[in-house]
Chain A
Amino acid sequence: MPATNSNKGALLEPDFIARLERLEIVSRKIFHGKMRGERRSKRRGESVEFADYRNYVIGDDLRFLDWNIYARLERLFVKLFLEEEDLHVNLLVDISGSMDIGKPLKSRYAMQIAAALAYIGLSNNDRVSVYAFADGLNYELSGLRGKRMIAKVFDFLGNVECGGVSNLSRACKQYAMRHAQAGILLVLSDFFDKGGYESGLRMLLGRKFDIYCIQVLAPEEIDPQLTGELRLTDVEDDDIAEVSISRALINRYKHNLQAYCAELQSFCTRRGMTYALANTQVPFDQIVMGYLRRRGLLK
């Protein structure tokens, strides 16, 4: 049953928002931005921070010649300054049916993380884009800049309807085709995609994003407390699995889940992505304030 998050109360508490203001998103890579921002760019530009010298070649802007050196050495050198650019923070939130499970709902948990990161990004004048995807990019809110835009983000996330079959591959493809601008990309999903997550994540790699995969799992999924003869229905595609719960089966399931997560982590690590597992039982602010900081996404 698709549900919106609008009636679940505010995504972020004011106290928490205040704590978020002190944080900023750190990229391990230096990206080219479109606009001047508050972070250093790889490009040499017009900021006040000196970076280097180089020999003058015809056509260089004469304003940047270092006349003092010319006076001493009678040779022309051009001063190079670091350019400051804005950072693209992209948040991909999974809103497929499988995220609409658990207490708290996995989708809400993911959106809270997304909202927090969006707020941090907007606070630091980063360019923040939020996408919700299920079998494709279903919702999009892009190009936000400036703290005042946070209300839009909250509105956006509050009005997203969960449901549908998860298709990470297609969503990533659509996203990668539309956005060539490198930046930080957070994928918040349970990665339970029967089509596989590999091809989707591989497509993102081509764009040289600094990718963070946050796998959101509910405790019911990590340690299911089931007994008896059950008819399990997949909320996404209504696929039926009839199981007779036994200790062996539970053990096997846990083993498979562990292997699945380990495989995802291994996939990410090998490709320079950062993987994190978020158990919805752990309050999301701990994830943001603690875990993501430790992993270097925030400082």
Chain B
Amino acid sequence: MTFLSGWGPIALAAGLTVPPLVALYFLKLRRQPLKVSSTLLWKRAVEDLQVNAPFQRIKNNLLLWLQLLVLLLAAFALGKPVIDAKESQKDSLILLIDQSASMEVEEEGGMSRLQIAKDQAKTEIDNLADGARAMVIGFSDRATIASSFETDKNVLKRRIDEIAATESVTTLSEAVTLAEAYMQNQVIGGETPGQDPTAQGLTGPVRVAILSDGNIADATKLTVKRLPTDDMQVISVGERSDNVAILSMDARRNYERPAMLEVFAMVRNFGPDPVTCDATLYINDENVDVQTMVLQPGLRAADAEVDADSSGIAPEDGTADTSAGGRSIMSAGPPIGSVASVAFDEVEYEGGGVVEVRLNVPDALAADNVAWTIVQPPRSVSVLLVAAGDVFLERALDALSVDVEQMTPAAFENASDDDLTEAGRSKWDVVIFENYSTKRLPPGNYIFMGGVPDIEGVSSGKTISNEILFNWDESHPILRYVAVDNIQVFQWSELTLPTDAEKLIEGETSPVLAYLARDGRQYLICAFGIIAEDEITGQPMLNTDWVIKPHFPVFLSNAIQYLAGSLSPTGMRNIRPGEPIQFPVLEGTQEIAVRRPDGESDHIQAAGFANVNYARTRRVGVYTAKPGIEGRDRFAVNLYSAGESDIAPRQKLTLSGKQLTASGEVQRVNKPVWPWILLAAIAVLALEWAVYSKRVFV
């Protein structure tokens, strides 16, 4: 406890008031006169008692003591005592609370990092001066406003309590953007008409407190524009660093023996101690296999020191720059032995379902100890090739394990509906058109090579040549294992596509390959055909060298499987927590229920939509849509983030080029205690009166 006024006023007040009180006490005593035969024994008795107590008279008078206590309390209160003195709080506080996966780590004492952070945040709220306002933002892969600027501390604390953990990665940029935007809105919202809003802005100082364990993926790339970095404080939460994580997992069917599954997982130890653990394989919750692995320490003592001195968070891809003080352990790769691959070969399983790999290890973070993927049962896909005759495509399709039928464009147009459809849908899983556009498209899946579906919003324009393939989405399952940079295309048609089309390959001026889902149909539109007419000679010519590359059949396989919905998990894009999932909608479906890993379901209106997007994927696990199209009704969400799994708290954070050092906990600020002392003085005064009234003599 400290005194804002110092000891001077207290001493002065006590010095001025206490002696007069004592003097008054003696003066005000009206002693009853009484004659006694001799004072001899009385004096001796008084002296005897005074031997042990020099202020016997004072000691035995409760009233005097109570009055003295009142005076001293009042004098004490004059000194403006405060608890844990620090400079007084700013007018506005923005609390950014990390709610990412690593904040779920249970620390010593059984509290999660998030809980600790919330407690610290509440302390910050308590520290606010009366009338000061605060804003609370929770951030993980995206930011959510728990509370906009608010002055009611109870409301703020309630909002803080409502912040729930996610299993997402940590990014701060959205939170910073939100905070900056709200700062501006606050200015505009709170302006007084007729006055310059700029002058009325957040003229009062703003303080920003980031409560996090420091594993912020985008910290180094973040640019802070308006928030005052000088008043930014990072409050580091957590101490534990022992964690083992599955960083990737894949299940694929043996190409030659589709009934055999092969499951691979990469496991890494981030902790300072060696770990021996079991990895268990489950298929549809049935234990199939167990493997034991030994992992060396992932964080050595020396690394920890380097880490403490490093500028902050190493990017997940491990490309940190050592020269910039990045974490050497990341830039040089993980320590030998701390990463292990576990492979479950020759698992005979023909059905479809959920493949789960689980680590039986009692580490700090549970969300990364398990990984899921969805496998589909192997089935042969039927393909209709509608082309004037293309040997390259025919050969490529022959190489795939699909049932291929061929038809000319004219035959396709002339065929009856019964020949083309079955139960209202296309008879084939995938129909491939080459250099042919049509509007005869019963519900089904279509690949257009050099043509376009004759539907609204899609059209083909002028021929583009002498351009290069400029950009492509290599993470898309259709382009998995496809070396697009290795492809040469002589010419393609300019494509006009609706905005919701996914552009997989783009040229300099026009998309080249795009995916579009519309009215229960899926289209993969390629702007060029394999065979094109030579502009000069009018003879057919090979338009691309893609067909002679080994990855062309791979592309065809990916595309057919993707569209047919029987794509093996290998091609399935991994979904990170927080990323949206797109569920295709069965025709006539009104509502889709998405069952989350925690057992709860979300209901989404689906009437009239071909796909629904589901974004509440902030927990890892399997998400199932009902009703759904078989093979595309289940998605696995996995953390797979080295940054989040590396749970050792960071002590330093660089934001906008400014290095912030984390403090262990919220610094307490002045809490005035003098009102309580005065209250105590009044209570003592009341007691004194009661004692006086009762004439209590001790």
Interface residues of A (CB under 8 A from B): 97-99, 101-102, 106, 190, 192, 194, 218, 221, 226-236, 239-246, 248-249, 252-253, 255-257, 260
Could you list 6 further interchain pairs (A-B, Cβ under 8 angstroms) beyond the known A190-B37, A194-B40, A257-B41? A102-B37, A221-B37, A230-B31, A235-B35, A252-B45, A256-B48
Given contacts A244-B61, A245-B697, contact A232 B29 (CB under 8 A): no
B38: interface (CB < 8 Å): yes
Which residues of the partner chain A approach B40 to less than 8 Å between Cβ atoms? Answer: 192, 194, 234
Which residues of the partner chain B approach A243 to less than 8 Å between Cβ atoms? Answer: 42, 46
Residues facing A in B43-72 (CB within 8 A) are 43-46, 48-49, 57, 60-61
Which residues of the partner chain A approach B60 to less than 8 Å between Cβ atoms? Answer: 244, 246, 248
Which residues of the partner chain A approach B41 to less than 8 Å between Cβ atoms? Answer: 192, 253, 256-257, 260
Asked if residues B39 and A248 are in contact (CB atoms below 8 Å), the reply is no
Specify the chain A residue showing the minimal Cβ separation from B41: A256
Asked if residues A235 and B36 are in contact (CB atoms below 8 Å), the reply is yes
Q: Give Cα A244 to B43, complex, Å.
A: 12
Most chain B CB inside 10 Å of its own CB: which residue of A102, A226, A234: A234
Q: How far is the CB of B543 from chain A (nearest CB, A)?
A: 118
B33: interface (CB < 8 Å): yes
Given contacts A245-B697, A249-B46, A257-B41, contact A101 B34 (CB under 8 A): no
Smallest CB-CB A-B distances: 8 pairs: A192-B38, A98-B37, A231-B31, A252-B45, A241-B39, A253-B45, A234-B39, A101-B37
Specify the chain B residue showing the minimal Cβ separation from A224: B36
B302: interface (CB < 8 Å): no
Q: Give Cα A167 to B45, complex, Å.
A: 22
B301: interface (CB < 8 Å): no
B32: interface (CB < 8 Å): yes
Q: How far is the CB of A120 from chain B (nearest CB, A)?
A: 28
Choose one: A97, A101, A229; the contact of B30 (CB below 8 Å): A229
Asked if residues B32 and A228 are in contact (CB atoms below 8 Å), the reply is yes
B698: interface (CB < 8 Å): yes
A-B contact pairs, 16 of them (CB 8 A): A97-B37, A190-B37, A192-B40, A194-B40, A221-B37, A228-B32, A230-B31, A231-B32, A233-B35, A234-B37, A234-B40, A244-B60, A246-B60, A255-B45, A256-B41, A260-B41
Specify the chain A residue showing the minimal Cβ separation from B57: A244
Which residues of the partner chain A approach B61 to less than 8 Å between Cβ atoms? Answer: 244
Q: Give Cα A255 to B49, complex, Å.
A: 12
Asked if residues B48 and A252 are in contact (CB atoms below 8 Å), the reply is yes
Which residues of the partner chain A approach B44 to less than 8 Å between Cβ atoms? Answer: 256
Asked if residues B42 and A232 are in contact (CB atoms below 8 Å), the reply is yes
Asked if residues A228 and B697 are in contact (CB atoms below 8 Å), the reply is yes
Which residues of the partner chain A approach B38 to less than 8 Å between Cβ atoms? Answer: 98, 190, 192, 194, 234, 236
Which residues of the partner chain A approach B30 to less than 8 Å between Cβ atoms? Answer: 229
Which residues of the partner chain A approach B698 to less than 8 Å between Cβ atoms? Answer: 246
Given contacts A229-B29, A229-B32, contact A239 B39 (CB under 8 A): yes
Q: How far is the CB of B429 from chain A (nearest CB, A)?
A: 106
Asked if residues B49 and A249 are in contact (CB atoms below 8 Å), the reply is yes
Interface residues of B (CB under 8 A from A): 29-46, 48-49, 57, 60-61, 697-698
Q: Give Cα A248 to B46, complex, Å.
A: 10
Q: Give Cα A102 to B30, complex, Å.
A: 25
Q: How far is the CB of A23 from chain B (nearest CB, A)?
A: 31
Asked if residues A233 and B33 are in contact (CB atoms below 8 Å), the reply is yes
Which residues of the partner chain A approach B34 to less than 8 Å between Cβ atoms? Answer: 226, 230-233
Q: How far is the CB of B54 from chain A (nearest CB, A)?
A: 15
Asked if residues A248 and B697 are in contact (CB atoms below 8 Å), the reply is no
Q: How far is the CB of B23 from chain A (nearest CB, A)?
A: 15
Q: How far is the CB of B33 from chain A (nearest CB, A)?
A: 5
Choose one: A226, A231, A248, A260; the contact of B33 (CB below 8 Å): A231
Specify the chain B residue showing the minimal Cβ separation from A235: B35
Q: Give Cα A218 to B38, complex, Å.
A: 12
Which residues of the partner chain B approach A232 to less than 8 Å between Cβ atoms? Answer: 34-36, 39, 42
Specify the chain A residue showing the minimal Cβ separation from B30: A229
Asked if residues B35 and A241 are in contact (CB atoms below 8 Å), the reply is no
Which residues of the partner chain B approach A252 to less than 8 Å between Cβ atoms? Answer: 45, 48-49
Q: Give Cα A260 to B46, complex, Å.
A: 15
Q: Give Cα A255 to B41, complex, Å.
A: 10
Specify the chain A residue showing the minimal Cβ separation from B31: A231
Which residues of the partner chain A approach B697 to less than 8 Å between Cβ atoms? Answer: 227-228, 244-246
Choose one: B31, B35, B37, B49; the contact of A192 (CB below 8 Å): B37
Q: Give Cα A239 to B35, complex, Å.
A: 10
Which residues of the partner chain B approach A190 to less than 8 Å between Cβ atoms? Answer: 37-38
Choose one: B29, B32, B36, B46; the contact of A101 (CB below 8 Å): B36
Q: How far is the CB of A24 from chain B (nearest CB, A)?
A: 33
Asked if residues B37 and A248 are in contact (CB atoms below 8 Å), the reply is no
Q: How far is the CB of A263 from chain B (nearest CB, A)?
A: 12
Which residues of the partner chain A approach B57 to less than 8 Å between Cβ atoms? Answer: 244
Which residues of the partner chain B approach A233 to less than 8 Å between Cβ atoms? Answer: 33-36, 39
Which residues of the partner chain B approach A260 to less than 8 Å between Cβ atoms? Answer: 41
Specify the chain A residue showing the minimal Cβ separation from B698: A246
Q: Give Cα A260 to B37, complex, Å.
A: 15
Q: Give Cα A226 to B33, complex, Å.
A: 12
Which residues of the partner chain B approach A244 to less than 8 Å between Cβ atoms? Answer: 57, 60-61, 697
Q: Give Cα A233 to B40, complex, Å.
A: 11
Q: How far is the CB of B31 from chain A (nearest CB, A)?
A: 4
Given contacts A239-B39, A244-B60, contact A249 B45 (CB under 8 A): yes
Q: Give Cα A240 to B38, complex, Å.
A: 10
Given contacts A228-B697, A229-B29, A244-B57, contact A253 B42 (CB under 8 A): yes
Q: Give Cα A98 to B46, complex, Å.
A: 20
Q: How far is the CB of A280 from chain B (nearest CB, A)?
A: 11
Which residues of the partner chain B approach A253 to less than 8 Å between Cβ atoms? Answer: 41-42, 45
Q: Give Cα A98 to B38, complex, Å.
A: 6
Asked if residues B37 and A241 are in contact (CB atoms below 8 Å), the reply is no
Q: Give Cα A192 to B48, complex, Å.
A: 19
Which residues of the partner chain B approach A230 to less than 8 Å between Cβ atoms? Answer: 31-34
Q: How far is the CB of B346 from chain A (nearest CB, A)?
A: 96
Q: Give Cα A185 to B182, complex, Å.
A: 111
Q: How far is the CB of A3 from chain B (nearest CB, A)?
A: 14
Q: Give Cα A221 to B41, complex, Å.
A: 10
Specify the chain A residue showing the minimal Cβ separation from B43: A241
Q: Give Cα A244 to B33, complex, Å.
A: 12
Q: How far is the CB of A214 from chain B (nearest CB, A)?
A: 16
Q: Give Cα A164 to B657, complex, Å.
A: 101
Specify the chain B residue showing the minimal Cβ separation from A248: B49
Q: How far is the CB of B28 from chain A (nearest CB, A)?
A: 10
Specify the chain A residue showing the minimal Cβ separation from B695: A228
Q: Give Cα A194 to B43, complex, Å.
A: 11
Q: Give Cα A243 to B41, complex, Å.
A: 12
Which residues of the partner chain A approach B32 to less than 8 Å between Cβ atoms? Answer: 228-231
Choose one: A229, A235, A241; the contact of B42 (CB below 8 Å): A241
Q: How far is the CB of B697 from chain A (nearest CB, A)?
A: 7
Which residues of the partner chain B approach A226 to less than 8 Å between Cβ atoms? Answer: 34
Q: Give Cα A294 to B156, complex, Å.
A: 94
Asked if residues A256 and B45 are in contact (CB atoms below 8 Å), the reply is yes
Given contacts A256-B44, A256-B45, A256-B48, contact A229 B31 (CB under 8 A): yes
Q: Give Cα A241 to B38, complex, Å.
A: 10
Q: How far is the CB of A175 from chain B (nearest CB, A)?
A: 22
Given contacts A244-B57, A256-B48, contact A101 B39 (CB under 8 A): no
Specify the chain A residue showing the minimal Cβ separation from B33: A231
Q: How far is the CB of B274 from chain A (nearest CB, A)?
A: 73
Which residues of the partner chain B approach A97 to less than 8 Å between Cβ atoms? Answer: 37
Asked if residues A235 and B37 are in contact (CB atoms below 8 Å), the reply is yes
Q: Give Cα A230 to B32, complex, Å.
A: 5
Q: Give Cα A248 to B49, complex, Å.
A: 8
Q: Give Cα A221 to B39, complex, Å.
A: 11
Q: Give Cα A41 to B680, complex, Å.
A: 85
Most chain A CB inside 10 Å of its own CB: which residue of B30, B33, B34: B34
Q: Give Cα A285 to B596, complex, Å.
A: 110
Q: How far is the CB of B52 from chain A (nearest CB, A)?
A: 10
Most chain A CB inside 10 Å of its own CB: which residue of B33, B37, B57, B698: B37
Q: Give Cα A253 to B40, complex, Å.
A: 10
